[in-house]
Amino acid sequence: SQTIHQWPATLVQPVGSPLSLECTVEGTSNPNLYWYRQAAGRGLQLLFYSVGIGQISSEVPQNLSASRPQDRQFILSSKKLLLSDSGFYLCAWTPGGKREKLFFGSGTQLSVL
Amino acid sequence: TQLLEQSPQFLSIQEGENLTVYCNSSSVFSSLQWYRQEPGEGPVLLVTVVTGGEVKKLKRLTFQFGDARKDSSLHITAAQPGDTGLYLCAGDRLIGKLIFGQGTELSVKP
């Protein structure tokens, strides 16, 4: 069976510090991978998606970047965090090439102070 | 621009009451999904509706897709405290790129 792992669950970082959130998927190959941000338990905003290794599409201009160094690994990064980067970050995947439901990770609650 | 408008944003009811959550858009979607999310967790898919006018039932939950595939509703009958959570609708306009509504926070009090 497929599983998605996202870590850490909670992170408190000072303004101006770097960020690295990691997400890995097991039990499938060539998944589509996504990073979403959710503010205060509201709707999800798509930040990045990837259909393959090294292929990243950005949905909104921002202080964050994403990378996919391996087929089932998706990383969200920032060189210098801003207060506005605080939020609940969710990684998700779908089977490659198929329009099916999103499988979400358990999320990372990021607080930038 | 928010393509999917969900209403109400907050709903607090007593156990046993019925409720309806709406998801509206001016855009046509090829499919629409409903998710439920608990605090500190990722959303979990409840249902996908694909055909205009489609109605799907999941125990006490009834989901309907509008005839024009621009809107959807979620109706819960005899709500229970276990139904408490954030309900999100999401429309599919491009493969894999779901557009999410702002969510409806439901609280069912015993």
pLDDT digits (tens, 9 = 90+) for B45-80: 999 999 999 999 999 999 999 999 999 999 999 999
Residue A85 sits in a domain whose CATH number is 2.60.40.10
Parallel, antiparallel, or unpaired: how do β-strands A44-52 and A32-38 relate? antiparallel
Distance from C-alpha of B89 to C-alpha of B27, rounded to nearest angstrom: 14
Number of domains comprising chain A? 1
Mark yes or no for CB contact B6/A43 under 8 Å. yes
Q: Give the pLDDT score at B2.
A: 55
Domain boundaries, chain B: 5-109
Q: Give the class (CATH, top level) of B5-109.
A: mainly beta
Chain A: residue whose CA lies nearest to B41:
A106
Chain B residues with CB under 8 Å of A105 CB are 42
Distance from C-alpha of B54 to C-alpha of B52, rounded to nearest angstrom: 5
Parent domain of A47: 3-112
Q: pLDDT for A16-42, tens place per residue?
A: 999 999 999 999 889 999 999 998 768
